[in-house]
């Protein structure tokens, strides 16, 4: 069967094959795929960089604390 279903990405408004090569898995959605294609999802992630930066800082801080605790 070569009739691949297409899925519409609401961000770039393009139709992509509805599989995990173009869309991330999203079990909450009825078709099991994310609403955004992988390219748009990646772009969205870079938009939230300030938030990620804080998370990264907290992560390294926690890692440092755990490391100290393990050594003590
Ligand atoms: Zn897209």
Among residues 28, 21, 3, 23, the alpha carbon closest in space to that of 12 is found at: 23
In this predicted structure, what is the pLDDT of residue 16? 97
pTM of the model: 0.58
In this predicted structure, what is the pLDDT of residue 53? 61
Pairing type for strands 23-25 and 15-17 reads unpaired
Domain boundaries, given as residue ranges, for the chain: 6-71
pLDDT tens, residue by residue, 12-50: 999 999 999 999 999 999 999 999 999 999 988 887 655
In this predicted structure, what is the pLDDT of residue 72? 58
Q: How far does the centroid of ligand 1 lie from the alpha carbon of residue 6, in Å?
A: 12
Q: How far does the centroid of ligand 1 lie from the alpha carbon of residue 22, in Å?
A: 9
Q: Is the pLDDT of residue 54 over 90?
A: no
Q: How far does the centroid of ligand 1 lie from the alpha carbon of residue 17, in Å?
A: 12
């Amino acid at each position: 069967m070569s009739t691949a279903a297409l899925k519409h990405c609401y961000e770039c408004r393009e139709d992509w094959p509805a599989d995990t090569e173009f869309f991330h898995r999203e079990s909450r959605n009825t078709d099991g795929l994310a609403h955004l294609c992988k390219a748009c999802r990646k772009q969205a992630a870079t938009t939230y960089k300030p938030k990620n930066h804080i998370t990264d800082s907290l992560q390294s801080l926690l890692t440092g604390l755990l490391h100290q605790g393990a050594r003590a």
